[in-house]
Amino acid sequence: MKLYAIRHGKTDWNVRRVMQGRVDVPLNDQGLAQAREAKENLRGYAFDRVFVSPQIRAMQTARIVTEGRNVPVIPEEALRERSYGVYEGKSRDDFCYEDFWNWEKDVSYENAESIRAFFGRVWPFLDSLKNRYPGEKILLVTHGGVIRAIECYAHPDMMNDQLGRWLPGNCSILEYDL
């Protein structure tokens, strides 16, 4: 299976470096422009189906990048961003962000998903895609945290203490052979 993952376009909270997590924050003008540019960048790609996080920033991005395509766009709960619990709406500087993304430490703040619980939500979905759609080309429109989980699924060596420093850019397109 060929898997493509795209992170949603920029939001005002991205600009301010505020943790969005499960909060529904729409794309800003730059994010809308990024989604239109991603649509152009994806012009030569064919997809059998598209799965999208039901959060507004991902849904807006998916609507733009799939406009004019005859492909099913399916909301998928497993693609929601990781919950930051009490730190949603707060700056990265308000807590130990890198520890929160450290597999070995498996930190969980109040009402937040630990990294192991989060990956334990995303990885079974990836397993089901591989089993249900072998040989297909699938696009996921989701969030930076979910793409971190996909990256670690495809490249287990990414599960190190540097994971918190790696984040795909808004509307960047990543490609995986699973």
Active site residues: 8, 81
Alpha-carbon span 23 to 74, nearest angstrom: 20
Beta bridge partners of 2: 137, 177
Alpha-carbon span 28 to 140, nearest angstrom: 21
CB 106 within 8 A of CB 116: yes
CB 98 within 8 A of CB 165: yes
CB 148 within 8 A of CB 166: yes
Stretch (H or E) spanning 139: strand 137-142
Stretch (H or E) spanning 35: helix 29-41
Instruction: Look up residue 34 and give its two tokens.
Output: 């990024």
Q: Within 13 A of 135's CA, how many CA atoms are on the CB side?
A: 0
Instruction: Look up residue 52 and give its two tokens.
Output: 């999208």
